């Protein structure tokens, strides 16, 4: 039976409703108070741990302390909401890896990075660095700055801005299965898909996870001591896989184009070319090889792949080449190289007056990628006498420009023609404590801050570091990791796996040469460097070697440092060891370190992946292996 609803009941209900609403309002006030209390530190600096109550205050700090003028960059480049969003995530991703957002240099600590930060000379040259959909994925969870960077300016069309933000949030849903792992690679897709159609899939299948075979049946991947697991059930996974199979090939193809534009655009900066031209080791090697081997260059047809300013092409012209085809993909630098050749009276004129051409006017600059050269200029196949290029990157193979040199070789080099340089070798050696930041932090004005140094060393085990190494900090003898003969190698040989043994370099003489005293030291990781040679095969008058070894004067390539997850004690075989202790410890130092290193072109175009497998071998033959480490050099 229904109960009778009286006026008293209505009044009581109204009173209870008002009390309930008062309670809700009180709760809302409390929530707002809490939000206001936390608002003072909502905005985290892009470069340090400072926090600010508004985006205006944060950007003022970034400008004054870190030379990052966000508003100037936004206005100069005309960045829209998406562009600003990507820029902020890009800068955060670079800083998380101690890498300069504008020039790309990597440092051992955030403090070193902050000391390095500088203003950017040409913003347009580096804009392509962050023009990738990868940076639509927020790097920090609940990053307030991403939704407040436009608050300082008047919005002429608030509705359009709101629509943009809503569309952006919808786009994020497509990225749910794309993980940006800054502890390992900075920006690296961790996606699960079965197959991709189209040419772009070829680049996807070179990803480090596939090349190094680190997958597991559990769906978890262990890399550098960290575990990444798949989320969601089977139904969700199948839906996401279907979306990703459609999305990823398009993204990869777009990414290759962006990276190419980024790569060639970065070489439009005069600062980079000044650094390379100022590298005396580099310049002396090429100049000697070209100018001091007259029998090689006399009347030769030369192709310079990636000519930059054209300095090597001009050397070839001075050495007596009859024709120099200088190929440069950067539109800006091709124009600069043309002007420099003209200013030095070496530019080949298209329509010489009176039908005559001076013998030294032999350089013609072609703006093109070498792979597209036949679309820009007609060159007979196999008609080039000498292929000239300075193609080397960090760790030799970074930037993957070697593939362009091999392409040019197969297309245009004459049978029996020459390549300068014609061989390349990668070396490896173990480094000690002096190559880390530990010594600095162990004594800071008499204070022990070694806990900071230890944390930095742990972080360094996750990313490769490009820096100058002192040869006194090497604790093993150098060993050859891999050798390339540019005359015969194939494109596939750029991806390789090699093993090498590192022997301690720990002996000191006491008394006489037969009385060797051994000591234990700690190996903290591996240093990689390279040499390229202009051998007597072609440079008969003066063979030349360009070496980036720690024992030689430093170059702009520096060396590439791969830090172990934990240091390994090493000593000579003459040292007695505790057979019950693990190999590589202080009680049982390793007498030899075996390395298995794989280097492969990464899924991100022009970057490389490095796999490091380390095994310590004791004096009694016992072994101890450490988990595989993956590094991405980009």
465's enclosing H/E stretch is: strand 465-467
Gap between the Cα atoms of 551 and 285, Å rounded: 17
Q: Is 399 a catalytic residue?
A: yes
Instruction: Provide φ and ψ at 483, rounded to 5°.
Output: -125, 140
Q: Helix, strand or coil for residue 516? A: strand
Terminal Cα distance for the chain, rounded: 77
Cβ proximity of 359 and 349 under 8 Å: no
Residue 566 has a CB neighbour count (10 Å cut-off) of 14
Tokens of 294: 């007259």
Gap between the Cα atoms of 203 and 266, Å rounded: 22
Gap between the Cα atoms of 450 and 461, Å rounded: 17
What are the residues whose beta carbons fall under 8 Å from the beta carbon of 596, sequence distance 6 or more? 497, 498, 499, 611, 612, 613, 615
Cβ proximity of 295 and 541 under 8 Å: yes
Q: Which of 187, 328, 364, 390 is labelled catalytic?
A: 390
Cβ proximity of 536 and 421 under 8 Å: no
**From residue 215, how far is each of 194, 209, 468 by CA, in Å?**
14, 7, 34
C-beta pairs of 575-583 under 8 Å, 24+ apart in sequence:
575/518, 575/519, 575/520, 575/619, 577/618, 577/619, 577/620, 579/620, 579/622, 582/624, 583/616, 583/617, 583/618, 583/622, 583/623, 583/624
CA neighbours within 13 Å on the CB side: how many for 122?
13
Per-residue DSSP letter, 380: -
Q: Per 3-state DSSP, what percentage of the chain is helix, strand, and coil (rounded to 5)?
A: 40, 25, 40
Gap between the Cα atoms of 420 and 184, Å rounded: 36
DSSP code per residue over 1-48? -PPP--HHHHHHHHHHHHHHHHHHHHHHHHHHHHHHHHGGG-EE-SSS
Q: Helix, strand or coil for residue 216? A: coil
**From residue 432, how far is each of 6, 17, 333, 448 by CA, in Å?**
89, 73, 41, 20
Q: Helix, strand or coil for residue 392? A: coil
Strand partners of residue 482: 426
Gap between the Cα atoms of 133 and 227, Å rounded: 25
Q: Is 156 a catalytic residue?
A: no
Q: Helix, strand or coil for residue 555? A: coil
**From residue 583, how far is each of 518, 521, 586, 588, 625 by CA, in Å?**
17, 14, 9, 5, 9
Q: Which of 21, 399, 442, 531 is labelled catalytic?
A: 399
Gap between the Cα atoms of 490 and 484, Å rounded: 10
Cβ proximity of 591 and 506 under 8 Å: no
Q: Which residues are catalytic?
A: 390, 399
């Amino acid at each position: 039976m229904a109960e009778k609803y009286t006026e008293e009941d209505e009044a009581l209900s109204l009173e209870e409703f008002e009390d309930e609403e008062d309670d809700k309002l009180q709760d809302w006030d409390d929530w707002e108070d809490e939000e206001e209390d936390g608002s003072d530190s909502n905005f985290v600096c892009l470069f340090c741990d400072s926090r600010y109550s508004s985006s205006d205050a944060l950007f003022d700090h970034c400008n004054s302390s870190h030379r990052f003028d966000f508003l100037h960059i936004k206005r100069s480049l005309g960045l829209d909401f998406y562009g600003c969003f990507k820029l902020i995530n890009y800068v955060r991703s670079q800083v998380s890896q101690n890498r300069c957002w504008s020039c790309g240099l990597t440092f051992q600590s955030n403090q070193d990075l902050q000391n390095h930060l500088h203003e950017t000379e040409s913003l347009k040259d580096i804009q392509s660095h962050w023009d990738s959909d990868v940076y639509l994925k927020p790097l920090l969870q609940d990053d307030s700055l991403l939704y407040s960077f436009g608050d300082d300016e008047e919005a002429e069309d608030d509705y359009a801005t709101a629509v943009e933000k809503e569309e952006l949030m919808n786009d994020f849903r497509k990225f749910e299965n794309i993980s940006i792992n800054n502890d390992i690679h900075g920006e690296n897709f961790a996606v699960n898909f079965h197959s991709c159609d189209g040419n772009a899939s070829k680049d996807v299948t070179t990803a480090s996870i596939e090349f190094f075979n680190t997958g597991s049946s559990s769906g978890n991947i262990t890399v550098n001591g960290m575990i990444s697991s798949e989320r969601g059930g089977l139904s969700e996974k199948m839906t996401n896989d279907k979306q990703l199979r459609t999305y990823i090939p398009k993204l990869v193809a777009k990414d290759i184009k962006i990276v190419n534009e980024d790569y060639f655009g970065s070489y439009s900066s005069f600062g980079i070319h000044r650094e390379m031209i100022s590298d005396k080791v580099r310049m002396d090697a090429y100049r000697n090889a070209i100018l001091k081997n007259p029998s090689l260059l006399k009347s030769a047809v030369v192709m310079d792949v990636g000519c930059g300013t054209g300095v090597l092409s001009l050397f070839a012209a001075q050495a007596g080449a009859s024709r120099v085809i200088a190929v440069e993909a950067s539109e800006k630098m091709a124009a600069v190289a043309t002007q420099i050749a003209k200013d030095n009276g070496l530019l080949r004129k298209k329509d010489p007056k009176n039908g005559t051409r001076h013998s030294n006017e032999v350089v013609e600059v072609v703006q093109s990628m070498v792979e597209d050269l036949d679309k820009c200029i007609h060159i007979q196949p196999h008609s080039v006498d000498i292929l000239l290029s300075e193609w080397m990157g960090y760790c030799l193979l970074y930037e993957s420009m070697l593939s362009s040199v091999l392409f040019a070789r197969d297309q245009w080099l004459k049978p029996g023609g020459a390549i300068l340089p014609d061989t390349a070798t990668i070396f490896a050696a173990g480094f000690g404590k002096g190559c880390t930041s530990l010594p600095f932090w162990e004594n800071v004005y008499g204070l022990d801050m070694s806990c900071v140094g230890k944390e930095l060393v742990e972080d360094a085990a996750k990313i490769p570091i490009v820096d100058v190494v002192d040869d006194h900090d090497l604790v093993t003898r150098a060993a050859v990791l891999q050798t390339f003969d540019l005359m015969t190698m194939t494109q596939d040989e750029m991806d390789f796996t090699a093993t090498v043994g590192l022997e301690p370099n720990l002996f000191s003489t006491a008394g006489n040469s037969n009385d060797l005293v051994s000591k234990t030291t700690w190996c903290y990781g591996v240093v990689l460097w390279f040499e390229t040679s202009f051998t007597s095969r072609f440079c008969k008058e003066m063979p030349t070697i360009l070496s980036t070894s720690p024992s030689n004067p430093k170059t702009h390539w520096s060396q590439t440092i791969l830090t172990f997850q934990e240091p390994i004690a090493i000593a000579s075989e003459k040292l007695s060891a505790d057979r019950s202790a693990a190999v590589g410890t202080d009680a049982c130092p390793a007498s030899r370190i075996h390395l298995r290193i794989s280097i492969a072109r990464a899924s991100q175009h022009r970057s490389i992946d490095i796999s490091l497998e380390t095994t310590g071998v004791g004096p009694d033959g016992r072994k101890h292996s450490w988990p595989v480490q993956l590094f991405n050099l980009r």
